[in-house]
Amino acid sequence: MNAIGFEHHDHATCIASTLRLAEDNCAQRGLKFTPVRRRSLEILLREHRAMGAYDLLAVLADDGHSAQPPVAYRALDFLVSAGFAHKIERLNAYIACCHLGSDHTPAFLICRNCRAVGEANASQVEIRLDAAAQAVGFLIERTVVEAEGLCPNCQDAA
């Protein structure tokens, strides 16, 4: 599974196919993919960068949705719990899942300049971390892997 977020791709197709996948996933699991939830995922997919709840709320308000913070937070909570988005702890922000529908351990590559976020597979990191934890009798309940640096575009600009 390659890192996604910094490579060139057909963005419109990426958004459309991921939204279809999310709709199908919700239908199969009996989840309600409301217009606000769908639009929130679409915004995260379109941006390809970490967005805070208030950033999302501003776009939703421009679209005519309620400008009350719970609207964005509820949508984001749903997207995260459904596996359609991830929370970037370092930034207290959210990004659409680039590997929707696949069982994976994400690692986030965060550009400190433009806030673009790439999502890579951290399964090897998780395996090693689990082994280290087991060696000392520690039970890992949650793992978050975040690396900060410069994306290819910002490297080229520097």
CA–CA dist 131, 145 (Å, integer): 16
pLDDT of residue 99: 77
CA–CA dist 74, 92 (Å, integer): 15
Domain count, the chain: 1
CATH of the domain at 81: 1.10.10.10
User: pTM for the whole thing?
Assistant: 0.82
pLDDT of residue 77: 97
Tens digits of per-residue pLDDT, 19-75? 999 999 999 999 999 999 999 999 999 887 789 999 999 999 999 988 899 999 999
Expressed as residue numbers, the domain containing 138 is 11-157
- 6 falls within a domain: no
